[in-house]
Amino acid sequence: MRDSDIRPCLLNCLEKQYKKDSNTLIVQELGLCQGYARVDVAVVNGSLHGYEIKSEKDTLRRLSGQLDVYCKVLDYVTLVASPRHLSRVTHTAPAWWGLWEADYKKGDLKIVTVRPGLENDSVDSAAVVQLLWRAEALEILKTRNLHRGIVDKPRRVLWHYITEFLSLNEIREEVRNCIKARQNWRVVSQQVSCDG
């Protein structure tokens, strides 16, 4: 079982869950912390929920680095893994991470919840703000009249200003709104079949 087996099934499950919610965007390969890590699938709505896939063909070598980044940025994380990997990470994944098992049952790939996820209480505003493109960061500052003297500064300076003047909840909301407003950007565009 490969990522290419699990991902279509996961995307289909998420599309079915959110198809009537116009406030939800499903994005693939969302880069976090300036590309230090990527989450396989992200659901962006009133929260930022990352889904990390670990198939039979994957290793768990990168998971500890991914774990650190995910804990700084994502409101929720769900690990979607093969039974082999799931048994290895059950005790090492943070208690707030959701765990889903992807396995073949009677010839069909099924994804089942092993452990529901909880909300992350350690989100870092400096990490979340890095999801903003420079133009988005500048617009956020302009709408609050905080842009004077920094219009030509690099994005890291704009990010710093945002973290200085906005609360974590304001930053989270602004980031989600900006991601959802991006046009034709890594959005899941078609449904795929999976009997999940």
Q: Which among 125, 109, 75, 118 has a CA at the least distance from the CA of 2?
A: 109
Q: Which among 17, 6, 67, 74 has a CA at the least distance from the CA of 42?
A: 74
**Which pLDDT score is estimated for 187?**
61
pLDDT in tens, 75-93: 999 999 989 888 888 888 8
What confidence tier does 1 reach under pLDDT thresholds 50, 70, 90? Answer: confident
pLDDT in tens, 4-27: 789 999 999 999 999 999 899 999
Answer yes or no: is pLDDT of 60 > 90. Answer: no
The CA distance from 143 to 158, in Å, is 13
What does the block give as tokens for 135?
Answer: 């133009």
What confidence tier does 194 reach under pLDDT thresholds 50, 70, 90? Answer: very low
The CA distance from 175 to 8, in Å, is 26
| DSSP conformational letter for 91 | T
